[in-house]
Structure 1
Amino acid sequence: MQCAHKISCVSWNSYHKHVLASSDYEGTVSLWDVGAAVRTRALQEHDKRAWSVHFNRADVRLLASGGDDARVKLWALNQERSVATLEAKFNVCCVRFN
């Protein structure tokens, strides 16, 4: 698998073991099919570096990302765009579902 930009974080999907999400320094959140060694989707809504990405373990179709644009994005893998955006006052260095 090849990336065009520096990777900041990765998260494995706990149910679909061949699916990996990554965030990068250009603000892109990517979904990868590790078995086929290809990027399957590029989610580009962060305006600055995306620092963190995390799959929800209870609902493996949900993914969160956070970045230097002071936003947390919630993604549903069956949607083309993010389903929610949380605005913070400062950059978001880490996201995790509880």
Structure 2
Amino acid sequence: MKFDNNKKLLIYLLSLNFTRLIIFPLGFLLIASIATLCLSSYNYMRKQVWDFYGAWDELHLSFFIWLPITYVFYLTFKDVYIDIRRYIKSSKNNKS
């Protein structure tokens, strides 16, 4: 019975972090790809040349895109690490 409770706790911890691990980074990648397309279409209107690489160069220098992505990854993995440590401590306390 203890194994089932530990298994349920582990499933709960994984489902809790699913949103932060999967949905937020995918959302930021979607925002980054839309911004890349906007910059390349702006370059096309300006130069009449599709310039995806130039748009990507302009994009990766922008802190407004990459700083939030880095911050979300930091918060996600920090919380995952804390949750795993709590799970290990609680399982050790349950055994003794």
Structure 1 and Structure 2 fold alike (TM over 0.5): no
**TM-score if structure 2 supplies the norm length?**
0.19
**TM-score if structure 1 supplies the norm length?**
0.18
Task: With a CA cutoff of 8 Å and minimum separation of 6, indicate the structure with the bigger relative contact order.
Answer: 2
Query: Which one has the bigger strand percentage?
Result: 1
Query: Which one has the bigger helix percentage?
Result: 2
